[in-house]
Amino acid sequence: MRMSRRQATIGALSLVAGSSLSSIARAEFGDILRDFGEGIDDFAVAQDAYIYGYPLVTMEYTRRVITNVASPVGNRAPMGQFIKSRQYPDDSFRDVTAPNADTLYTTAFIDVGQEPWVLSIPDMKDRYFLFPMLDGWTDVFQTPGKRTTGTGAQTYAITGPSWTGALPPGVKEYKSPTSLVWLLGRIYCTGTPEDYAAVHAAQDQCKLVPLSSYGKSYTPPAGKVDPSIDMKTAVREQVNGLDAIAYFTLLAQLMKTNPPAAADAPELAKFARIGLVAGKDFDSDKLRNADFAKRVPQVAFDRIMLQFKVNKEVKDINGWGYTTKTGLYGTDYFMRAFVTAIGLGANRPQDAVYPSSQKDSEGKAYDGANKYVLHFAKGQMPPARGFWSVTMYDSSYFFVANPINRYSISARQNLKSNPDGSVELYIQKESPGADKESNWLPAPSGKFQLMMRLYWPNENSPSIINGTWKPPAVKKLATVVRR
């Protein structure tokens, strides 16, 4: 029997109200059902619209914060100019959730609505790199890099949805579905002074210019600084702090230059009921119940975060949750919003898979008061042709301060093996001792979570993509049987 929208909404709200992820009290859940009555259908549509638009709104807020400077400085640069990260981000970094400490970012936001932009990448000399291109909805529409295009010098013109024209010889066209594009380049670096210098040289040879200036001398204009933009609060907090009216008003504006995909038409047809129509201003008069403005965002975001538990495309193996459905989302709007919330900028699975863990082998949440070990049997290290790592995050997916400034652990730490060839990672607040410190991933005093990265994962067995390799469980040290 097919459920009505009302039945489906009440069921979803019940799940949210009873979930540990939700901040909505059971009493408030009862208030929603009582107060909205038949209006619960509008409430449901508003939630769906919020979830649908979450990636685009988050991308816009990210763009605002990252580009709100007059010239490149630190982790920010004006539109059309590269941010060249010269070292790994630290625990003060709050611009993007779940940052990595394995590659040096070489990134830029561009607007291809008026004219194309030309990206030139130098010869990377067999170094692993990846320059994914994200549209405004967070889909990765192209992935130049070592896996796909090799490491030789290469040049691309990134064109807008409606652009037509001729390109110079040797310039390949990559068409973006939206005007907003985020170039999220990553170049692998071991972190030594010598390798930092080599990567810096490669970064400095990356060029980005509008098509009209290609082949000419080009000096980018100074960026315009908007003092009204909040440069301190994390982007996710800013987005989640918008009430429904402000959120949908912005979403409607963004959809004018970042058109929804054709496959979204059935979903968009529903949103007209609450005044949200692609290509038009938001009609707030149709959002009849003003109480939506304070209740829709929280309930919808709780449902987004609930995907870690209920989305069938999210695997839960040995305490690690992950999906191989990132980068290209189709009409899975929940997955798209979920990945935006916990790891904006995620790659396609062929380029990276990101197992995330919030609980140990006993199903208990991680706590820095305990000591843990992650044991890899001989020959069972994460199978990746690019690199792998395990990163420590706090409960909001940001780095945590620690005495050795180590935010992730990988093969570049020269990990020590056990006599039987296995490798153990020690996850704890205090050092496990000088003889084991190479294998130590420092933890905070309170709650934390882990993320594993497998860049360019094996396509053939063993492979996390086809399920022939699985991440092992993290065990509390007291439960580990020593060999």
379-399 pLDDT per residue, tens: 999 999 999 999 999 988 899
Topology (CATH level 3) of domain 69-213:
Immunoglobulin-like (2.60.40)
The number of helix segments (H) and strand segments (E) in the chain equals 11, 21
Question: Of 32-36, 184-188, 224-228, where does mean pLDDT reach its minimum?
Answer: 32-36
Residue 328 and residue 139 in contact, taking contact as beta carbons nearer than 8 Å:
yes
From residue 107, alpha-carbon distances to 63, 132, 340 in Å are 11, 10, 17
Highest CATH level, class, for 315-479: mainly beta
Q: How far is CA 244 from the centre of its chain?
A: 23
Give percent of the chain above pLDDT 70. 90
What's residue 448's pLDDT? 97
What's residue 99's pLDDT? 85
Going by their DSSP bridges, the two strands 133-135 and 140-142 should be labelled as: antiparallel
pLDDT at 290 over 70: no
421-479 pLDDT per residue, tens: 999 999 999 999 999 999 999 999 999 999 999 999 999 999 999 999 999 999 998 75
Residue 179 and residue 136 in contact, taking contact as beta carbons nearer than 8 Å:
yes
**Residue type, position 244, single letter:** A
User: Which is more confidently placed, 23 or 407?
Assistant: 407
3-42 pLDDT per residue, tens: 444 444 444 544 444 444 444 444 444 555 555 555 688 8
Q: Among residues 471, 456, 450, which one has the least CA distance to residue 352?
A: 456
232-277 pLDDT per residue, tens: 999 999 999 999 999 999 999 999 999 999 999 999 999 999 999 9
Q: How confident is the model at residue 308 (pLDDT cuts 50, 70, 90)?
A: confident
Interval 338-364 mean pLDDT: 94
pLDDT at 195 over 70: yes
pLDDT at 78 over 90: yes
338, 341, 343, 345: CA torsion to nearest 10: 90
What's residue 97's pLDDT? 76
Interval 322-341 mean pLDDT: 95
79-93 pLDDT per residue, tens: 999 999 999 889 998
Q: Among residues 77, 57, 14, which one has the least CA distance to residue 344?
A: 57
Mean pLDDT of the chain: 91
pLDDT at 215 over 90: yes
Residue 186 and residue 129 in contact, taking contact as beta carbons nearer than 8 Å:
yes
Query: Which residue shows structure tokens 């991680």?
Result: 366
Helix or strand or coil: residue 441?
A: strand
Q: What is the DSSP letter of 280?
A: S
Spell out the domain ranges in the chain. Answer: 5-60+237-305, 69-213, 315-479
What's residue 289's pLDDT? 65
SS3 annotation, 260-274:
CCHHHHHHHHHHHHH
What's residue 40's pLDDT? 80
Give the predicted TM-score (pTM) of the model. Answer: 0.86
